[in-house]
Structure 1
């Protein structure tokens, strides 16, 4: 599956309509972003159960600001509209594949219970 370019018009709809979304926040001038792009594309070809999307932080500054993106590349993983991973920096292919496997293996009922528990203690 090809990566999807996210913008203000399709960002929320993409997150809401797909259970698994991995977003690469990047910019064209960023050398580490350009170096990570083939790894991101290759992973998208292996996982039909995940939407792989990119946010160009130069063109979509509102989205980047909404998620407090300060360094790029930043990877963010959503499952069931919940951010389960957000980290700046690129990953080698093997580590990225392992991250995806771990993210997809998470028990989302447990994650929701943990979030509810944190909300109750706040």
Structure 2
């Protein structure tokens, strides 16, 4: 386990948090699509990106869960720019609809996670 706590050349280790790694980064002007953002690491990724000013598009299967995550992010960060769009990666029809809807939004795409 010592490997995970030893800091590498970047100054971070396996125990570093997303907030620590992104400290001081200004993501305003960027747009990110985060898949699986209704729970787990996807939700945490969406939260930290929004905290850094990134416009986050949560791409999720479960819109009810996404709404709860979005509300929690906005409660913590009222200035957060965050949207939820339905996407089921196991369905090509859903992928096509998501892509079409995102393209129609005229948002740039800077990050895809």
Q: TM-score, normalised by structure 2?
A: 0.30
Q: Which has the higher contact order (CA 8 A, sep 6+)?
A: 1
Q: Higher strand fraction: Structure 1 or Structure 2?
A: 1
Q: TM-score, normalised by structure 1?
A: 0.28
